Structure 1
Amino acid sequence: MRFLFPKDSSRRFRVLAGIGAALVGLLGAVAAGEVAVEAADLETVKRRGYFIVGVKENLPLLGLRQPDGSLQGFEIDLAQALSQHILDSATPPQWVPLLNQDRLAKVMSGEVDLAIANLTPTDARRRVVEFSLPYLSSRTGFITTVPAPLRFADLARLRLGLLQGSVAIGRVRAAFPQATLVGLDTYEQAQQGLEQGTVEVFAGDELMLRGWLAPTQAPRASLTSGRLLPVGLGYDARAIALPKGLQYETLRQAVNQGLRSLEHEGRLQQMRKEWQLPPLAAASLDRLEED
């Protein structure tokens, strides 16, 4: 059976709806006096002596809460390295775990100075927050439990699972217009589909898929029988979200300079390698190397 997706841009709708929800929640919280009205600029952060950073705590390889309560992952290491570079201090950041729907609102309200939380810059998001230079890149990747070798063209004849509303839908449709697409509501359903054989391949964010194959990072969410195919579609950057406004320009410049320095020193490359993440895409690398 072929499961068809609506032809409208469901991902764009979800992003805009999420931004709208963030704005409504932010305005309500400000009116109730629950949050700061203004985010901290660089001088305020320096006087405080540490950054308050919003991160993920449920993403293997990027930010994951450990049994001892600590946070581990590439974005955690990045936040610590940036903090030390900008503040010239070993004082660690204060962590604020973020749900996806809260990431922009927490930056806008000033509850966090930065959000380093698996955020892809989009035009819609740029209307409410600023973004740094990219520090990581991803694409639509493919994971399978089919044991036989697969070529890229072979994917067109297999049952391809996709998350409802994901950016992968348009990319897979364009690459494989005749493929059988199976709509899934959650990543848990995707893993179950692969394990039970209701889908033969799942297409999704490659960073997420790499996390599935890291059992030491996510023993409950691992897919030990799966393998990531060495092919992908499209390109998605990851960047740090900062508050908008001229008063935060020095903060944005400091963050970007820190990212450039860490890249030129080879520390970002080493961190990506340690966390089994892909190298930075050429387009992002060119931006980081600009003076």
Structure 2
Amino acid sequence: MRVTRAAAAAAAFLAAAAGLSACGLGGTEEETVADKQSLVIGVKEDQPALGVKGPDGTYKGFDVDVATYIAGKLGIPESRLTFKTTNSSVREEALANGTVDIIVATYSITATRKMKVTFAGPYYVAHQDTFVRADDTSINDVRDLKGKRICAVTGSNSWRRVIEERKVAAEPVTVDTYGACMDALAGGRLDAVSTDDLIVAGFAAGRPGRMINAPFTDEKYGVGIKKGDLKGCEEINRAITAMYQDGTAKRLLDKWFGDSGLKLTTSVPQFEGCK
């Protein structure tokens, strides 16, 4: 019996030691983006004014500038940032497997996504609108999309907001990216591209077409990080607050969308809370 008790005591001691190690006493703490010395940042590569990859491999756009600012507030200089194209269909997977550390890529916060991702922010609240061909006068409101072919980007919820939330019987056509959506629209394979107004405004600046200027949702752009990284979330929220308070947010919005005609919001968005 004494041997059994001794063995049990030893097992209890080892279990306690393992627990302390997991908590960071004698071991490593839970990884957080707040403690990283460099970052891999997921962005889009084909969204004008938001995230575009140039011929030289560099990325530019509002999301890129926001990510760079946030990283700076975390103590990580631009020289230690790596930007990586992360399309809508792979965002959750990329965060979960560590392909990217954070995602700043018009990533709308939704209840479903919050089950897999921790979101900081939002860093901006956009509104869904619709882009059509310039000569198409039949679409002037979301209800006019009934029976129309609309773009359904893999991994994006924008088309669902038309069909499932607004109950408009549009015909979704699956396309990989919004850049491909715009090409399909111009080629007559789609009737409309309905998504966030910042995305539409970026494309509208360089393509023929018409934005109907009839917004109908709030799209809360969050900074996606690995599920459970609450410390990182809180630090990023502090960075976003500073970005609005010091005037950087207004400067960046004016830089990328000042000529779009959109009514831009320059006050700190209401945060969702770190979960």
**TM norm. shorter chain > 0.5:** yes
- 2:43 alignment partner in structure 1: 55
Kindly tell me: are residues 172 and 68 of structure 1, through their superposed partners in 2, closer, same or farther at Cα, counting changes over 3 Å? Answer: same
Where does structure 1 lack aligned partners over 5 or more consecutive residues? 1-37, 216-223
Residue of 203, 208, 232 corresponding to 2:215: 232
Residue of 217, 242, 261 corresponding to 2:242: 261
- 1:11 alignment partner in structure 2: none
Report whether the alignment pairs 1:125 with 2:125. Answer: no
Give distance in 1, aligned partners of 2:142 and 2:86: 39
- 2:86 alignment partner in structure 1: 98
Amino acid in structure 1 at the alignment position of 2:209: G
- 2:53 alignment partner in structure 1: 65
Residue of 173, 198, 213 corresponding to 1:184: 173
Alignment of 1:70-85 (within 5 A): 70-85=58-73
Secondary structure of the 2:269 match is helix
Contact in 2 for aligned 1:132/1:240 (Cα 8 Å): yes
Alignment of 1:105-254 (within 5 A): 105-147=93-135, 152=140, 156=144, 160-164=148-152, 166-171=157-162, 181-186=170-175, 191=182, 194-195=185-186, 201-215=192-206, 224-245=207-228, 248-254=229-235
1:203 positional shift: 2.9
Q: Kindly, what percent of the aligned residue pairs are identical?
A: 17
Contact in 2 for aligned 1:161/1:190 (Cα 8 Å): no
Contact in 1 for aligned 2:41/2:83 (Cα 8 Å): yes
- 1:274 alignment partner in structure 2: 255
1:167 positional shift: 3.7
Contact in 1 for aligned 2:124/2:269 (Cα 8 Å): no
Kindly tell me: are residues 159 and 236 of structure 1, through their superposed partners in 2, closer, same or farther at Cα, counting changes over 3 Å? Answer: same
Q: Residue deviations 1:178-215, cap 9 Å, x none?
A: x8x34433357754664466766543333332232233
Q: Residue deviations 1:31-89, cap 9 Å, x none?
A: xxxxxxx98424641xx3x2222222222222111012211111111111111122074
Contact in 1 for aligned 2:141/2:214 (Cα 8 Å): no
- 1:20 alignment partner in structure 2: none
Alignment root-mean-square deviation, CA: 3.5
Larger mean CA deviation between 67-76 and 197-206 belongs to 197-206
1:114 positional shift: 1.2
1:102 positional shift: 2.4
Contact in 1 for aligned 2:250/2:266 (Cα 8 Å): no
Amino acid in structure 2 at the alignment position of 1:269: K
Give distance in 2, aligned partners of 1:59 and 1:189: 10
Contact in 1 for aligned 2:150/2:191 (Cα 8 Å): no
Q: Residue deviations 1:69-124, cap 9 Å, x none?
A: 21111111111111112207453412232232322222222332211122112222
Larger Rg: 2
Contact in 2 for aligned 1:139/1:234 (Cα 8 Å): yes
Amino acid in structure 1 at the alignment position of 2:245: H
Q: Residue deviations 1:220-241, cap 9 Å, x none?
A: xxxx320212211112111011
Secondary structure of the 1:87 match is coil
Contact in 1 for aligned 2:122/2:270 (Cα 8 Å): no
Where does structure 2 lack aligned partners over 5 or more consecutive residues? 1-28
Amino acid in structure 2 at the alignment position of 1:225: P
Contact in 1 for aligned 2:120/2:271 (Cα 8 Å): no
- 1:8 alignment partner in structure 2: none
Amino acid in structure 2 at the alignment position of 1:184: V
Q: Residue deviations 1:117-160, cap 9 Å, x none?
A: 22112222212221001012233212233458789469639864
